[in-house]
Amino acid sequence: MARYAIGDIQGCFNQLSRLLSQINFNKSKDTLYLVGDLVNRGSQSLEVLRWARDNQDNVISVLGNHDIYMLARYLKLQKPHSDDTLQDLLRADDVDDLMMWVRNCPLIHEEKDYIIVHAGIYPKVDFNHLLFLNHLFCEHLMSKNISEFVDSIYGNKPNNWTQDLTTEKQIKFLVNSCTRMRYLNNKNYELDYSFKGNLNKKPDDLTPWFDVDFHATINKKIIFGHWASLGLFENKKCIGIDTGCIWGYKLTAFNMDTFELIQVL
């Protein structure tokens, strides 16, 4: 009955396979929680996604920015980027079935003792409201109007939470904060997209999202990925497990009950 969280796989199926054998992953009783960015940049996105779909009874994944980009490519809303590696996947015979699995993934998954999200939880909003917006997001992703919806969530704005945001804009802010956030501006807590480096090099006017005082409703440990330059990171409030597998570093599994960390190169 083990529970493991695994960091950003980004199409590195060989490393995932090695990590699963390292942890003796047992399909009949263990559960894997993937923190998103299953695909892109690596060469085996199709294999990763097929594995996740085929093991869906034991796999819970949240969506990362690359997963949403994959949906946008599938829906022909985005042109290929020069460094994207999704061609095999988008041409696969079973692409519709794979995308149906992806469309079932939320932005935020909540366990009794953990919150799982790709980039982070915006610290200044009632968590129950973020869960409500997450629910609306999931409904839109499963609706007939998915193309219109995915198109509407692209773009940097709004990058701040204000009382007057429409529900549509609140959902867009949720997507940006859950899938792209690293630093917030000290003055007004708006999302900063410009700086992606580690904590030693950060400009003085920015604070990592997890060092800002949290809203009292955010009271479980947050497992996140997305931030390879941060590396393995843990404090009382969160644990970051994107250890940069796609950049030649390790892929990390975190045992959510024993707190053991297992890594493969």
Q: Is 61 in the site for Mn ion (CB under 5 A)?
A: no
Does 177 contact Mn ion by CB under 5 A?
no
> What is the C-alpha separation between 142 and 103, in angstroms, rounded?
6
Number of residues that bind Mn ion (CB under 5 A): 4
Q: Which of 131, 112, 115 is nearest to 5 (CA)?
A: 115
Asked if residue 176 binds Mn ion (CB under 5 A), the reply is no
Nearest to 7 by CA among 38, 52, 29: 38
Q: Of 23-31, 32-40, 54-62, 213-221, which part binds Mn ion (CB under 5 A)?
A: 32-40
User: Is 243 a binder of Mn ion (CB under 5 A)?
Assistant: no
> For the chain, what percentages of helix, strand and coil (3-state, to nearest 5) are there?
35, 15, 50
When the beta carbons of 41 and 172 are compared against Mn ion, the nearer one is: 41
The verdict on 226 binding Mn ion (CB under 5 A) reads yes
Determine which residue in the list 10, 44, 61, 65 makes contact with Mn ion, applying CB under 5 A: 65
Pairing of strands 31-34, 59-61: parallel
Judged by CB under 5 A, the residue of 4, 9, 15, 37 near Mn ion is: 37
Tokens of 214: 């949290």
At 252 the three-state DSSP class reads: strand
**Cβ 258 to Mn ion shortest distance, Å:** 27
Look at the alpha carbons of 54, 56, 60, 64 in this order and tell me if their dihedral is positive or negative: positive
Q: Where does this chain touch Mn ion (CB under 5 A) — which range of 47-55, 92-100, 188-196, 219-227?
A: 219-227
The footprint of Mn ion (CB under 5 A) covers 37, 64-65, 226
